[in-house]
Structure 1
């Protein structure tokens, strides 16, 4: 992909209207120092229509955002890992309704919390076994430590479950989860969770390869995603962005220094949020999605498999507003369904934003986001590094700006 070949008109956009994206982000966020910097790309019909950065990748060292800046994409890892798992499904190595305990025997008799707190929970037997489909759709009964709403997520925090501490591995996470009850019986509700980290473990068990090696061989190398990785290489460190957090006083402060990052020399390969990537690499992934699973002559996933993944799998075609537990997620609940690793727009009117019905997407904890709109042959990737992603409504604003620029 040639990032220098930018032609808004050839992609069916008004260049003047697309320019509003950069103006808005710079004036509303970068100059007021609400974020350190950002980079936005718009691709349509295989043509790069827009690529514009603003601000710094490293505010402390006054290093500007560049087109090849390396970002923590956090939960934008989830669609990548979900695609990777489904390449094993295409080989007949599991079915969506296989019980998870087929591959994790210690999870055979999962229980659900009825009362109590860690380590003295009162529990009952789950109504049915957890299925692989439940993990892909976040209907597994698992949760996240940062939810701050239940005794189960409190236990996750106490145990430092899925924390990237030195020496901690996916095997450790699986063993910890085996000792804890679920929030609900699998299939009963939707709850954002460590489910995709478990999918990463399943990839290792089913394929016989480490998660980094499998992703590299099956997705990154075929698509030319040379920069996407779990830990920055030595040659990537000079263009690695620092990460920032908005504190209780609404100040933007350093959270992870790029030049002394916790991402270096990692042992926990988080399928739910561990990858680093660039705008160019993630655009390559989006090009593959727009191509029905194929890009540059390389088929990563079958067209019908991808159709299945991005369809709404919530019971009765419901949206998240009607089935999700209260708590953080990387999407609005109104007018949004969920498939096998992707959120999907099922009602733009109810959702309140103009992306086409059938578009699909996700985001990351540091406010990164992407979406793919097959009807418009359109993909958008937005990169920044501000935690939490719920701070500003970048997705809604970018949808309004991008679709308003279509000719």
Structure 2
């Protein structure tokens, strides 16, 4: 597949600019067509399919759409602000992966280096063979090789997810006290990642894609290698240089009012508040002081802050004159490592899902677009060919009307002019 990274050659002009939260018209986008986003969002809110959402669009390093729709607090009819602070959950993963690539570029690690070089508990790993659901007992066989940092970046290590993974591994992890990284957790990250290394993998390293605690382990590696907590590392090496002023593991109390309520649905698909005990995940966790920093799911942020991070990647690792990652390193990070599914529709890079050539023919995104999302209903993508960034942010999971983001995507691409 030929990834469209040559569009990053516009670095010199783009990096000199700073994103402004002020929405402006763009000569290559049709404002009347973009206005369909308003009517679509308002329809979903009016029909009771969605409490509220935020949408941000960046084209050619300029904000062309930045609005909140519906309500951040449905019961009190509090409007959704454009600058709402969302629990971005798995959108944390891209930032953690970026931190790993910074350390890689500094010569502090190799992508194909064994994790065991830094955390010895990953030295002699095993793979699950037989599992007894009655008591969570199991048998294992030796792993054919050690898991590597590249395995973690591409979710091919064989590490599964606690709480949301396969039933057998959820049971094994629960018995061993391995957290999912979702919500507030005050144990030490290194202690839990050491314990994870002593447990079996769900399959042989490199065998296939399994979405799991790989990025939490990457966050732990950042702490071990840098000697800083992940919170301090992100603040000093990523957020402060980029000017990301609203991205946190622990949201300051003075900004708590900007956090939308979290919603789910009842058996009749009616919107209801996410209760503090639902799925053992208190939605107020961003406000709790914490010591355990989940590189896979721990951050809260605004659409605007996250757009800055994505714009820096489109700029080839530079933003506001500051080079956070080399151009070639960004190209490697955004290059396909393998097909993510057996259908060969999508690909996966070192931290992102990638739109393949085949997938670009089936949908609107250009080949080489990179994307992911978060558990509570946030999603994003960046399209290097169109120099386009989009974030659609909700706090609603699961959502039976999950076609909203696809409709918004179609509207956005339909608004592009020649």
Please give the residue correspondences for 1:255-334 in structure 2 after superposition, counting only pairs within 5 Å. 255=274, 261-263=284-286, 264-314=288-338, 319-322=339-342
**Cα distance, 1:387 vs. partner?**
1.5
Structure 2 counterpart of 1:242: 261
CA–CA separation in structure 1 for the residues paired with 2:372 and 2:257: 28
User: 139-148 vs 208-217, which deviates more?
Assistant: 139-148
Conserved 8 A contact 1:57-1:241: yes
CA–CA separation in structure 2 for the residues paired with 1:394 and 1:216: 33
CA–CA separation in structure 1 for the residues paired with 2:275 and 2:328: 40
Pair 1:3-2:18 in alignment: no
Q: Secondary structure at the match of 1:288?
A: helix
**Cα distance, 1:151 vs. partner?**
1.0
Conserved 8 A contact 1:364-1:389: no
**Cα distance, 1:360 vs. partner?**
0.6
CA–CA separation in structure 2 for the residues paired with 1:90 and 1:170: 24
- Which ranges of structure 2 fall in alignment gaps of 5 or more residues? 1-18
CA–CA separation in structure 2 for the residues paired with 1:390 and 1:302: 41
Please give the residue correspondences for 1:168-247 in structure 2 after superposition, counting only pairs within 5 Å. 168-247=187-266
Conserved 8 A contact 1:335-1:351: no
Q: 1:302 to 1:391 in 2, by over 3 A?
A: farther
TM-score by length of 1: 0.90
Please give the residue correspondences for 1:108-187 in structure 2 after superposition, counting only pairs within 5 Å. 108-117=123-132, 119-147=136-164, 149-163=166-180, 164-187=183-206
- Which ranges of structure 1 fall in alignment gaps of 5 or more residues? 323-332
**Cα distance, 1:168 vs. partner?**
2.2
CA–CA separation in structure 2 for the residues paired with 1:252 and 1:157: 30
CA–CA separation in structure 2 for the residues paired with 1:8 and 1:60: 34
CA–CA separation in structure 1 for the residues paired with 2:86 and 2:144: 41
Structure 2 counterpart of 1:354: 364
Conserved 8 A contact 2:67-2:81: no
Conserved 8 A contact 2:373-2:379: yes
Aligned match for 1:66, one of 71, 75, 81: 81
Q: Which has the higher contact order (CA 8 A, sep 6+)?
A: 2
Conserved 8 A contact 1:293-1:303: yes
Conserved 8 A contact 2:377-2:394: yes
Conserved 8 A contact 2:378-2:392: yes
TM-score by length of 2: 0.88
Structure 2 counterpart of 1:377: 387
Q: 1:192 to 1:395 in 2, by over 3 A?
A: farther
**Cα distance, 1:297 vs. partner?**
0.7
Conserved 8 A contact 1:334-1:351: no
- The superposition leaves residues 52-74 of structure 1 with CA deviations (integer Å, 9 ceiling, x where unpaired) of 21111122333211122110001
CA–CA separation in structure 2 for the residues paired with 1:371 and 1:216: 23
